[in-house]
Chains A and B, each alone.
Chain A
Amino acid sequence: MARVLIADDASFMRQMIREIIEPEGHEIVGEATNGVEAVELFKELAPDLVTMDIVMPKRSGIDAVKRILADHPSACIVMCSALGQESLVMEALQAGARDFIVKPFKPDSVVATLKKVLEKAD
Chain B
Amino acid sequence: MSLDLAKYRRIFLEEAADHLGEMSHALLGLEKELAGAEPIDTLFRMAHSIKSMAASLGYEPIADLAHKMEDRMEGVRRAGRVRDSAELAILFQALEALEAMVAAVADERELQPADESLLARLAAPSEDVAAASQAMLSSAASAAHPKKVRS
Contact = CB atoms under 8 A, between A and B. Distances in A.
Contacts of A84: 67, 70-71
A34 B100 CA distance: 29
B105 interface: no
A15 interface: yes
Contact of B52 (A15, A103, A108): A103
Classify chain B's interface size.
20 to 34
Nearest to B2: A107
B56 A104 contact: yes
Given A82-B48, A82-B51, A12 B1 contact: no
A28 to B, nearest CB: 16
B65 to A, nearest CB: 14
Classify chain A's interface size.
20 to 34
B56 A23 contact: no
Interface centre among B11, B41, B48 (most CB of A within 10 A): B48
Interface in B87-105: none
A9 interface: yes
B3 A107 contact: yes
Interface of B: 1, 3-4, 8, 11-12, 15, 41, 44-45, 48-49, 51-53, 55-56, 67, 70-71
Given A12-B56, A55-B45, A105-B56, 17 more contacts: A9-B49, A10-B52, A10-B53, A11-B11, A12-B52, A16-B3, A19-B4, A20-B1, A20-B3, A55-B44, A55-B48, A57-B41, A82-B52, A83-B55, A84-B71, A104-B55, A104-B56
Closest 10 CB pairs of A and B: A104-B56, A104-B55, A103-B52, A55-B48, A12-B11, A12-B53, A107-B1, A10-B49, A82-B52, A12-B15
